[in-house]
Amino acid sequence: MHSELSTIEIQPESAHKYSVICLHGLGADGHDFKGIARELHLNAESGIHFIFPNAPAQPVTINRGMKMRAWYDILEMSLERQVDIAGIYQSAKLVTRIIDQEMNKGIRPEHILLAGFSQGGVIALHTGLMFPYKLAGIIALSTYLPTLEPLKTEHSPANNGMPIFMGHGMQDSVVSIEAGKAAFKVLHALGYNVEWHEYLMSHSVCIEEIKHISDFINRIFS
């Protein structure tokens, strides 16, 4: 059982005012999205602490039990894929500890943003919706949300109005756009401030999406 996550970080160049915690996808690591941070050209960039945690290495069933960095186990690849729900909760606890560490530095929770791609998007959504204090927002890319049912009763009211950005590729063959839209529709029906974007791409990130993410963060960290 892992008690904490190793991280890749970009320290703020001026006074630390904001934090962005970005969670990678299955089999990647914290370096995966480090380069995108500079491409965002954020207005508040000099005051942002970027944190890219490494998921624990663990066996993944759909990859014949091979060990790789994963936030939780995936048991099958169907649209209604069975996943390791307990693993999602465990990873959410580890990410919550990183949020707590930033808060202990004096960063207000409403200045802490969660972002994630694919599996990392699941953990960003689950952690953010469960967190007891209002966060800045969530960016969930090419992802879905297998814990929607328990979150309906376990979510934190503090984050009911938190802005959520969801982006997905129309040609995604890893996490279907239908799965992403299903999560968006439920969150929207529950009253969350969630916006949906789709792009002509596969299971990846494109220039247009990066521009939209930049606009989203600049609105929040203004």
Report the catalytic residues.
Answer: 118, 172, 203
**Assigned token pair, 105:** 């530095």
Return the number of other C-beta atoms located less than 10 Å from residue 129's C-beta.
26
Cα 24 to the center of its chain, rounded Å: 8
Beta bridge partners of 137: 113
d(CA 58, CA 73): 8
Q: Which tokens go with 11?
A: 């320290």
- In terms of Cα–Cα distance, which of 72, 64, 61, 81 is closest to 26? 72
Distance of CA 182 to the CA centre of its chain: 17
